[in-house]
Amino acid sequence: MTSTSTSSRIAPLESASKQPRRSIQKLLEPMDRIAANCTRILGTAHGQFEQDGQSYFLPRYLHIGRKGGGDMMRVGIFATIHGDEPEGALALVRFMELLAERPEVGEGYGIFIYPLCNPTGFEDNTRHARSGKDLNREFWRDSTESEVQTLESEIRSQAFDGIITLHSDDTSDGLYGFVRGAVLSEHLLKPALLEAGRFLPRNHRERIDGFEARHGIIHSGYPGMLQAAPDANRPPFEITLETPHLAPVHRQVDALVAALKTILTEYRYLQAIGQNI
């Protein structure tokens, strides 16, 4: 899947001194290649929208894992909702490689990967979308932002068992995460932070980002952040992973991949135990 944006158009003179836009095509190229070479991964484009005469879409890669013991578990992974935090998307390239090379990692799962939730912000290297909005404060608030509407409709229609979002925080010197939704979220984040801790230190502060935290875990969140629908029948587990933005990128990538892998393994165990009771 390649970008449909006409990024080659001539920039207006007044913006000639600005940094050139980053390339969506370049970001998605390795993911498209993995999807093309793996029969279990399917790449599609969702929610096409227009901005300043250019067209954008939200890429989605769906990995259908080998059948496990029970029902297929559906997990949505979302990255780059803040355009200046592409580390999550880079981690998802590695994670998709892993899914393609080692089928046991994704066994029993349908994994819906949304690596680029804020394409205009990514191009501009800004937290906000080009509309000026912080998309991660717009969810389930009747937002008029196309990206948010598309993601809300995906979240609603796919009825995920788990929602994981990836962020990178330039005010934190260590890893931490938010948990919401199902009670077991914390039992997934704990081991995930432990495994990710092989690559980066954890943020052990008692307050992180204005929230009360315990060993890098926050039981709260911002209103309007990407999350399950408020009226969802069965709340999924919800985890937001935050890496320290100023750490070396390859370490952030390694930490996120380790955390994702751990969450899948732990959730599979918890489901298996639950089904045997």
Interacting residue ranges for Zn ion, rule: CB under 5 A: 82, 85, 167
Least Å from the CB of residue 113 to Zn ion: 17
Of 82 and 202, CB closest to Zn ion = 82
Any bridge partners for residue 181, and if so which?
237
Of the two residues 146 and 172, which places its CB atom closer to Zn ion in the complex? 172
Tell me how far, at minimum, the Cβ of 149 lies from Zn ion, in Å. Answer: 20
User: Most distant CA pair in the chain: distance in Å?
Assistant: 67
Of 34 and 77, the one with the shorter C-beta distance to Zn ion is 77
Least separation, in Å, of the C-beta of 82 and Zn ion? 4
The residue (of 242 and 266) whose beta carbon lies closer to Zn ion is: 242
Q: d(Cα 171, Cα 152) in Å, to the nearest integer?
A: 28
Angle between helices 87-101 and 249-276 (to 10 degrees): 50
CA distance 37 to 40: 9
The residue (of 122 and 267) whose beta carbon lies closer to Zn ion is 122
Q: How far is the CB of 265 from Zn ion (least distance, A)?
A: 26
Angle (CA) 197 203 204, round 5°: 110
Residue 84 or 195 having the CB closest to Zn ion: 84
Q: Which is nearer to Zn ion, 22 or 40 (CB)?
A: 22
Q: How far is the CB of 10 from Zn ion (least distance, A)?
A: 32
Min dist CB 79 to Zn ion, Å, is: 10
Question: Least Å distance between CB 49 and Zn ion?
Answer: 21
Decide if 126 contacts 119 (C-beta within 8 A).
no
